[in-house]
Amino acid sequence: MALDEPHTDDEVKEINGISVAIDPNIKDQTEGVILNVQESDGEKGLVLQGLDDCC
């Protein structure tokens, strides 16, 4: 699964075997954030956990 291809200035990291591209403009805001899968009413979606403020 891919949401978008990384841009040339993105920082690309492998996290738990998944390649993740992080925009340098929001890198500091993503420290400590956990990407999780949540299921509700039979549907699955991605959820960001640990955000103090929305970016």
* Token digits of residue 10: 């993105």
Residues 1-55 have pLDDT tens digits of 557 889 999 999 888 788 888 899 988 888 888 888 899 999 998 888 887 665 5
Task: Determine contact, residues 24/10, Cβ cutoff 8 Å.
Answer: yes
d(CA 33, CA 42): 25
**What is the DSSP-derived secondary structure letter of residue 6?**
P
Q: Where are the domains of the chain?
A: 11-49
> Whole-angstrom Cα distance, residue 39 to residue 7?
30
Q: Which one, of 36, 32, 31, lies nearest residue 18 by Cα?
A: 36
Residues 6+ apart with CB under 8 A from 39: 45
pLDDT of residue 47: 85
pTM of the shown model: 0.57
